[in-house]
Structure formats: structure tokens, C-alpha cells
Amino acid sequence: MKKAILFFIFLVLMLPVFADVEEITNYKMIVDLTKNPTHITNVITIKNIAKYPIVPGIGELRLQKEESKKIFIIPIPSKNEKKPVEIENLKGYYIIGNQKYPMDVNVSYKGTYTVIEYQIWRPIESGKNVTLVIEYDANIVNNGILFKTISIPVGCDLNIKKFNIIFKSPYHLTYLEPNGKNFQIPKDKLFIIKAEFSILPLPRLPTYGYILFWLTILMIFVILMVYIELRLKNKKRMENK
């Protein structure tokens, strides 16, 4: 019933010389769970903090998922297998000033991860921004019977001043970690967003709902077995009298 999936996004600028002259001032990720497969929109604003114009050149988004192995239907957290994410309907563009430009975007698969490559060859003036919009469809959600889970690590070789994630879902949000908005993510660090949704009208829970579900089932099973065992012992005692 439950299979843990870890969805990994890592933004890489192919020109490391720009690492200290650019920063991401705003990164908004929109995850639309009403679509199947999930539709993901990345809106990334990069600012030139140097005193001279720069050309971003080639950059990447890297995607990865981890699937845990299971015994029957129970996942084994320590047994994870890393896999690339299959991408469909990839498209993108960028905005400099008020002008919108088409952007070359391509996808490739590198064994255990997926690479979305984009190219920007127009200069960004000092203090100005370029906003990237990259959209695609991907199977990143684990669809259980009662719960849908998603885990998205976000990392970059640039400082992210403000990161927000927006989920569009018809289901009830039962778990979210961390809880809040406008997160700052230092460069070369991973920031992990974990979320769970359920068809059940449950309140926000302190942990994954599927964990509480299986614990509840296990407790009921144990109580039932103890009750049956006590009944059998009592029956034998009555027969021996």
C-alpha cells in the first residue's frame, strides 16, 4: 500500500565563475496534484549582484527519486533505490525586464537522476534580474489508497533568499514539514519539503498519516490476538472444571 518516494531537485549553474556574482532572490515551486502525472512549475528569479553584465549561459535542474523496497506491502526505510524521474511535456521561457524570450530546454537521463538543461545567452545588467519559468509533468507522488506522499529536497550552488512551495490538491493536507513560508536556503545545502495528503478529512498530524494508520492496525491486531488467546484459555479452564 505504501511506497516512499523521494523527489530530488538540484539547481546547478554550469559556469562556476558566476557562483559569487548571482543569487536566487525568489524561487517558487508550484506542485499541481490535480494532474496525473503531477504538473510542476518552477519560477526562479536570478539577480546579477556583480558590478558588470553577465551571461548565465547553461544551467541545469536535476531530479531524482528514491523508492523504498517493501516486505509485502510494508516499506523498508533503510532499503532505498535511487532512480531518475521520467519527464513529459517539458517547456520553458525566461523574462528580462518586461521582455519574454523562448528558452531552449532539454531533458536527459544520467543513470540515477534526470537532467533538465536550459540556456540563457542574453546579458543581465548589474543589479537586474532574469526570471526562469520551467514546467514539466512527472510522476513524483506516491499514490496510496488513503494517502499521497511527496518529499522534495531543493538545493543549489547559489544562495536562495526566498523559497516557497505551493501545493494544488483536492485532498486534505495531513502533514507538512517544515511548516512556513519564505525559507532561506544557503548554497550547497539541501532543504527538504515533506508533505502528505489524504482522502480522509483528517487534521494536520505530527507525522505521516500512513505511519499512524499502520500503527493503529497493528495495535488492533495485537489487542484482537490477546483477546482471542484469553478467550481460548478461559474456555479450556471452564472445560477442565
For the stretch 65-97, pLDDT in tens is: 766 555 555 555 555 677 788 889 999 999 998
Q: How many CB atoms lie within 10 A of CB 102?
A: 9
Residues 201-225: what's their mean pLDDT?
85
Which helix (H) or strand (E) segment is 36 a member of? none
CA distance 31 to 40: 5
CA distance 14 to 120: 11
Q: Dihedral sign, CA of 162, 166, 172, 174?
A: negative
Predicted structure pTM score: 0.78
At 218, is the pLDDT very low, low, confident or very high (cuts 50, 70, 90)?
confident
Give the three cell numbers for residue 128: 537586474
CA distance 103 to 112: 26
Asked if the model's pLDDT at residue 201 lies above 70, the reply is yes
